[in-house]
Amino acid sequence: MSAIKSLQTGHVGLNVTDLDRSVDFYKKVFGFEVAAEGKEEGRRFAFLGADGKLLITLWQQSTGAHPKDRSGLHHLSFQVDSIDIVKEAEQVLRGLDAEFAYDGVVPHGEGVASGGIFFSDPDGIRLEIYAPSGAEGAIAPTEAAPTCGFF
């Protein structure tokens, strides 16, 4: 079998404990729209997206926070066009009392231009919003390892 040539990431499915709370969080932080919902008891879900494209599916089928010490999703990252958009998202998250891994925008590594913010959703799922440039001059939290790998 040859490699698939047109492969790209589709949507990401996340288990959540409280669908309404998570939908509200993702709409406020990312500006997602609800494309579809399932409201049947025991089968609640929401499809979230932007510009007609499905990006995230939320499934209410968990009973606890996402553990960092288990195999599975490390973090979910979203790229934006500028560091100003990252900073705007940071302010929204601060208003939601989100938990941040680092204080403010940090670079992906010492001396690199790309960087962003690292935080958790209401269920402890680690998230990142970053821009490809604009973090020049900021100090990386760890010099010897990628910032996005160890939070």
CA distances from 134 to 106, 129, 131 (A): 10, 13, 7
pTM: 0.92
What's the pLDDT at 113?
96
Assess contact for 65 and 115: CB atoms under 8 A: no
**Are the CB atoms for 12 and 55 separated by under 8 Å?**
yes
Number of Cβ atoms within 10 Å of the Cβ of 90: 20
Q: Name the token pair of 69.
A: 């010490």
Q: What is the mean pLDDT of residues 124-133?
A: 97
Residue 8: which pLDDT band, with cuts at 50, 70 and 90? confident
pLDDT band at 1 (very low <50, low <70, confident <90, very high): low
| Residue 37: C-alpha distances to residues 20, 25, 76 (Å) | 11, 16, 22
Output the average pLDDT for the chain: 94
